[in-house]
Amino acid sequence: MVFQKVTNKALVMPGHYKWDSIVNVVSKGKNTTDTIWHKLKDFSLTNQNGVTVNWDSLKGKIVIADLFFTHCPTICPVMTANMKRIAASLNNGQRVGDRTNQQVHFISLSIDPERDSVERLKYWANRFQINPEQWWLLTGNKKEIYDYAIKEMMIFAEDGQGIDTSFIHSDRFVLIDSSRHLRGFYNGMDSSSLAQLSRDLVLLTMERTPDEKGVFADNMLTIALTFLMAIFAVGLFFYILKKNKQ
């Protein structure tokens, strides 16, 4: 049943969000329009290992991103746990060799960077057994993080003026393709939305970018099967979880 849902919806490629401009293009004597999708600007933040990272560190990666803070008493632990399950399923889909998925990366930006030091990020990483080669917890300049979340990633964040429970932020996971284009928003607390994220992730791994001629084209079938196996496992988990809650 879950696998049938995956195959039926796998034909619809994830859409794009936030365009910069529309240009006229003349091709073979015909006038057509082309949308220039917004490319997320660069950032410079520090991960849980104390390493400064940016988009160059993620070149060629598909990224799943969210917001969190380590003193969060409500949704953050649940969202981190759900992201952890998706990350783990990708690793579990690789049966031989390096078990760290090399095509997908996860980033979680702290909206409380003044308290979320590298040591606090390490605490959170240890709590959820987060692999730094696959998933970065990021801290840095507060204004940069808030501007990036709101203006670039198009998700909400509000400073609660230092009170633990008054920080307000989006519960969305954001899907970003290897060209740094926004490709989807998903409720990090909802099983059906997370299943849709899993399906969309499969499709993006098989999508060719304008500036790359199918780096994975020669291994397309292997990649597709690997990710479909992983996504099936994730979908099944959330399906069972939802059933148990009912």
Q: Which residues fall within 8 angstroms of residue 53, CB to CB, at 6 or more apart?
A: 44, 45, 46, 47, 136, 138
**What angle do the packed helices 191-205 and 2-9 form, to 10 degrees?**
50
Domain locations along the chain: 2-9+41-245
**Radius of gyration of the chain from its Cα atoms, rounded to whole angstroms:** 19
Measure Cα distances from 107 to 26, 120, 161, 221 in Å. Answer: 39, 16, 24, 27
Phi, psi angle pair for 16, to nearest 5°:
-110, 155
Give residue 165's pLDDT band: very low, low, confident or very high (50, 70, 90).
low
Q: What confidence score (pLDDT) does residue 8 get? A: 42
Q: What confidence score (pLDDT) does residue 192 get? A: 94
For 239, half-sphere exposure in the C-beta direction (CA atoms, 13 angstrom radius) is 15
Q: Say what the pTM is.
A: 0.78
Q: Average pLDDT of 25-31?
A: 75
Any idea which fold 2-9+41-245 has? Glutaredoxin (3.40.30)
Phi, psi angle pair for 108, to nearest 5°:
-125, 115
Phi, psi angle pair for 32, to nearest 5°:
-130, 165
